[in-house]
Amino acid sequence: MKIKTPTNIILSVVSYLIFIPSALAQLTIQEATYTDAARTIQTYKVSGTGDISDFGSTLTYKSIWLYGGNITLNDSSKTLSITGTNESNGALSVINGSAWYAIVAQGGTNSITIKDGGNISIPNSNSISLNNASSTLAINIEESAGNVSIKKAFANQGKLTLNLSKENALYTDGSTVPVVGISDGGNNSSFTLNTSKNQTLGLDLRTGTRAYFNITDGAIITVTSATQSTLWNDKAATIYIDNGLTDGGILFSNSSSIWNEDSWDSETSSLLLTTTSSEKTHTFKFVDSAGNPLTNLNWITTSDGFLLTAVPEPAEWAAIFGLAALILAFGKRRLRK
């Protein structure tokens, strides 16, 4: 019988401690069943942390429910595909027994990161959702991401964050305008959009909800409601913008003549849009992180719609006029010659 020395015991304990994080780092994918009075639905529960290799040879699913699942898609030769079914409006996961989504964050801290040529395809009109007030989901799409098809990312409850470092990141071929937003106005629910590249999106912000926008590097978010299923409902939402749109802008596109009237209240920083066909109103109030109206915003009507940007600071105006003076002086000098 071999007796372990204290050194051997310590090494065994260290090896055991090292082994545990490695085991926990892998994704756990388990079959699950949802049953209600109308249907029985097969889905998959995903938890843990891992990448596309943890899915093995099975890369096509009808639905996925995330319970503390953190997935990285980082292989250009593989595509994670969530197909849904023909039942309801295409996806197989059930939210509140009625709304249907392909990927659902049901609890815990979750993330989907797409980079290094990684691909994801969700052909359903309802792609990704949160359904638990205590759950969070971050969708991170890096510049190096491959083909991405996410038609809708929506927070029924919980905290949804989109970190988009690629132009039109949610739908890279540009054939469909993705819809993003939130329906729950509770204190535990929020929608955050961080982007440094131009994005074209449909906004579905229900009454009483809060959205947080961080737009940098001169990016423009073009908002079109052409694909919103709830376009014809009255809405009023608050949008928090920390940097006051000093390094970007929001264009409310009217290319499809969706809105027939716009009204901007500079004192309260509120935008009122009225839809063309049913005279429903959309009210967006723009505030800083403390909830104070952003009085530095400028509302411009363009041929493409309504553009919201920051009013240039005095120093910026001085630089603009200084540049104009230099150009004028240079032109006069050329004329004298």
233-269 pLDDT, tens per residue?
Answer: 667 788 999 778 889 999 988 766 666 667 888 888 8
User: To the nearest 5 percent, what fractions of the chain are helix, strand and coil?
Assistant: 15, 50, 40
CA gap 211, 239 in Å, rounded: 5
| Residue listed under structure tokens 């229900």 | 206
Arithmetic mean of pLDDT over the chain: 77
pLDDT of the residue at 118:
97
The distance of Cα 226 from the centroid of its chain, to the nearest Å, equals 18
| Residue listed under structure tokens 């994918």 | 29
Rounded to two decimals, the pTM is: 0.80
| Better pLDDT: 198 or 84 | 198
For the chain, give the longest Cα–Cα distance: 105
Q: Is the pLDDT of residue 327 over 70?
A: no
Q: Is residue 14 classed as helix, strand or coil in its secondary structure?
A: helix
| Better pLDDT: 91 or 238 | 238
Looking at the domain assignment, is residue 131 inside a domain? yes
Residue-wise burial string across 285-302, b where 16 or more C-beta atoms lie within 10 A, e elsewhere: bbbbeeeebbebbebeee
Looking at the domain assignment, is residue 191 inside a domain? no
The distance of Cα 220 from the centroid of its chain, to the nearest Å, equals 15
Looking at the domain assignment, is residue 117 inside a domain? yes
**Per the structure, how many domains does the chain have?**
1
Q: How far apart are the first and last CA of the chain?
A: 104
Listed residue (49, 45, 44, 46) closest to 70, CA to CA = 49
Looking at the domain assignment, is residue 97 inside a domain? yes
Looking at the domain assignment, is residue 238 inside a domain? no
Q: How many CB atoms lie within 10 A of CB 40?
A: 8
Q: Is residue 236 classed as helix, strand or coil in its secondary structure?
A: strand
- Tokens representing 182 are 């939130």
Name the CA dihedral angle for 65, 68, 74, 80, rounded to a multiple of 10 degrees.
-10
Q: Is residue 55 classed as helix, strand or coil in its secondary structure?
A: helix
Angle, vertex CA 45, rays to CA 151 and CA 103, nearest 5: 5
* Average pLDDT of the segment spanning 166-184: 86
Q: Is the pLDDT of residue 11 over 50?
A: no
Looking at the domain assignment, is residue 4 inside a domain? no
Looking at the domain assignment, is residue 74 inside a domain? yes
The distance of Cα 159 from the centroid of its chain, to the nearest Å, equals 11
Looking at the domain assignment, is residue 62 inside a domain? yes
pLDDT of the residue at 233:
60
Q: Is the pLDDT of residue 52 over 90?
A: yes
Query: Residue 61 sits in which domain range?
Result: 29-176
